């Protein structure tokens, strides 16, 4: 009998593990009445645990508002970027506590593990930061913040609910825009792969006559000013300003294709926003046209201070449609809206030569009046397949088809060049850098 009792007590921790603390002790307490040989120890354990729990309850509930929590979020989120949010938590307890925090984030993120653990000293304040990366534009609804508090005894957990319901809009990538903006202002675009283009000739916009310094082009020496001053003087020129740069975004079904969570339309929208901002910083005028089977938004080119916000608001509302682009409507709109020769950047996608041939007659007509740059995308999945070694007949077949589609993309570039249409074939992640590269190249060579 003693061996049975000894074995029972040795496995008491297993009972607690199975029944969960108090539940295990309650079971022992009840069993002690039916089996007197268990002794008084279960009853002592039970009442001791009840006493400790009462103390824990008093500790946690004697302070009406033991903690305070609030979400720190920006006014809007940036699409495809890591947005930093924070949870501010403040303890009013006079003893250290441990806290578990749940933030009810929008369902679009499909995350069920937003659970933060932290320890707070008496009356301590903390800010817990975390990142969210949205992949769709639109409104995101945040819910409440729930905080679960435990005292050092750790037997009872108290829940606090904080109503923090709010709706945050997700805009095109303005964080990416700001990054390029700072680099453009400080002339550091080369740090992120933006090519430094050698100038060919000079722009026609004269700025001033200045003293010659080492490195100046000797062809710009002003001999009359040199004779008057008695020292070498050179003419200084600046880039021509107020040139028009229009971004035309195709919203048809070809732009629905996803890449790393974003559609091609979202990549084109982000790149258009950045390009428009860089153009405005270079003192050019930026405009926008969106098109599908019907005309979308039209923002005439301008460079007033509030113009970029107008473009941002328009891009925020754009969505993919599921019919083919009405190129005849696009041509008539361009001829009606864009009155002077401009750089027209057309963001679209072609998967075959047949797709290009349907639009080519209208592109050939546009290039007569404007400098046309067609931007379309590499199929990165097919490129990966074409680079993988084939190990069987099926693999050879898949690899051959993938290489055929990749070759068609290159043929499209040559076909466009045949008619004087510039093009960029790029992967989605390099779209912004490649587009700005080409804009700076065009501007440096004065092709507009």
**pLDDT confidence of residue 215:** 67
CB 136 within 8 A of CB 108: yes
Half-sphere exposure of 137 (CA within 13 A, CB side): 20
Question: Which residues in 358-377 are b (16+ Cβ under 10 Å) and which e?
Answer: ebbebbeebbebbbbbbbbb
Residue 169 has pLDDT above 90, yes or no: yes
Write the pLDDT tens digit of every residue in 260-318. Answer: 889 999 999 999 999 999 999 888 999 999 999 999 999 999 998 899 999 999 999 99
CB 225 within 8 A of CB 233: yes
Write the pLDDT tens digit of every residue in 239-254. Answer: 556 789 999 999 999 9
CB 219 within 8 A of CB 232: no
- DSSP secondary structure string for all residues of 393-427: HHHHHHHHHHHHHHHHHHHHHHHHHHTT-EEEEE-
Residue 188 has pLDDT above 60, yes or no: no
Taking CA atoms, 28 is separated from 36, 46, 55, 59, 229, in Å, by 11, 8, 22, 27, 107
Residue 16 has pLDDT above 50, yes or no: no
Write the pLDDT tens digit of every residue in 106-164. Answer: 999 988 778 999 999 999 999 999 999 999 999 999 999 999 999 888 888 999 999 99
3-state helix, strand, coil in the chain (%, to 5): 45, 25, 30
Tokens of 415: 């076909």
Mean local confidence (pLDDT), 25-50 = 62
**pLDDT confidence of residue 10:** 40
The CATH number of 67-171 is which of 3.30.70.360, 2.130.10.10, 3.90.1280.20, 2.60.40.10? 2.60.40.10
User: By percentage, how much of the chain surpasses pLDDT 90?
Assistant: 54
Write the pLDDT tens digit of every residue in 412-429. Answer: 999 999 999 999 999 999
Sorting pLDDT into bands at 50, 70 and 90, what band is 15? very low
CB 256 within 8 A of CB 297: no
Q: What strands, in cross-sheet order, belong to the sheet with 244-250?
A: 295-302, 285-291, 244-250, 343-347, 371-377, 422-426
Instruction: Give the residue with greater pLDDT, 446 vs 264.
Output: 264
Count Cβ atoms below 10 Å from residue 245 Cβ, excluding itself: 27
Q: Domain limits of the chain?
A: 2-61, 67-171, 204-238, 240-444
Taking CA atoms, 387 is separated from 377, 395, 402, 429, in Å, by 18, 11, 9, 19
Which of 110-114, 167-171, 277-281, 345-349 has the lowest average pLDDT?
110-114
Sorting pLDDT into bands at 50, 70 and 90, what band is 43? low
Can you give the pTM of this predicted structure?
0.77
What is the CATH number assigned to the segment(s) 240-444?
3.40.50.410
Query: What span, in angstroms and rounded, lies between the C-alpha atoms of 135 and 259?
Result: 10
User: By percentage, how much of the chain surpasses pLDDT 70?
Assistant: 83
**pLDDT confidence of residue 235:** 79
């Amino acid at each position: 009998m003693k061996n049975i009792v000894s074995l029972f007590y040795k496995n008491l921790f297993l009972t607690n593990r199975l029944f969960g603390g108090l539940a295990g002790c309650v079971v022992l307490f009840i069993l002690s009445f039916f089996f007197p040989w268990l002794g008084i120890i279960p009853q002592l354990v039970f009442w001791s645990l009840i006493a400790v729990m009462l103390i824990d309850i008093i500790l946690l509930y004697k302070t009406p508002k033991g903690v305070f929590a609030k979400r720190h979020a920006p006014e809007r989120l940036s699409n495809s970027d890591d947005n930093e949010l924070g949870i501010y938590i403040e303890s009013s307890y006079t003893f250290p506590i441990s806290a578990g925090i749940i933030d009810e984030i929008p369902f679009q993120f499909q995350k069920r593990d937003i659970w933060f653990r932290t320890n707070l000293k008496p009356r301590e304040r903390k800010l817990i930061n975390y990142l969210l990366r949205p992949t769709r534009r639109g409104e995101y609804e945040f819910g409440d913040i729930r905080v679960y508090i435990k005292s050092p005894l750790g037997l009872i957990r108290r829940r606090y609910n904080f109503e923090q319901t709010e709706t945050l809009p997700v805009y095109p990538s303005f964080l990416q825009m700001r990054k390029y903006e700072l680099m453009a202002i400080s002339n550091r675009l080369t740090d992120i792969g933006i090519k430094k283009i050698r100038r060919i000739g000079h722009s026609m916009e004269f700025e001033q006559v200045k003293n010659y310094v080492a490195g100046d082009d000797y062809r710009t020496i002003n001999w009359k000013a040199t004779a008057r001053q008695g020292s070498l003087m050179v003419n200084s020129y600046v880039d021509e300003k107020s040139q028009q740069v229009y971004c035309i975004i195709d919203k048809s079904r070809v732009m629905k294709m996803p890449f790393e969570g974003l559609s091609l339309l979202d990549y084109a929208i982000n790149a258009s926003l950045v390009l428009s901002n860089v153009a405005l910083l270079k003192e050019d005028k930026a405009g926008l046209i969106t098109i599908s089977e019907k005309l979308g938004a039209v923002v005439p080119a301008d460079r007033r201070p509030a113009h970029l916000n107008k473009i941002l608001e328009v891009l925020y509302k754009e969505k993919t449609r599921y019919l083919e682009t009405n190129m005849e409507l696009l041509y008539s709109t361009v001829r009606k809206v864009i009155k002077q020769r401009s750089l027209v950047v057309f963001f679209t996608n072609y998967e075959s030569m047949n797709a290009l041939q349907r639009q080519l007659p209208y592109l050939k007509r546009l290039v007569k009046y404007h400098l046309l740059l067609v931007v379309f995308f590499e199929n990165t999945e097919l490129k990966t397949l074409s680079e993988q070694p084939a190990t069987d007949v099926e693999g050879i077949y898949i690899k051959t088809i993938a290489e055929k589609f990749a070759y068609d993309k290159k043929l499209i570039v040559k076909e466009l060049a045949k008619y004087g249409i510039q093009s960029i074939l790029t992967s989605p992640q390099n779209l912004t850098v490649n587009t700005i590269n080409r804009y700076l190249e065009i501007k440096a060579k004065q092709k507009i």
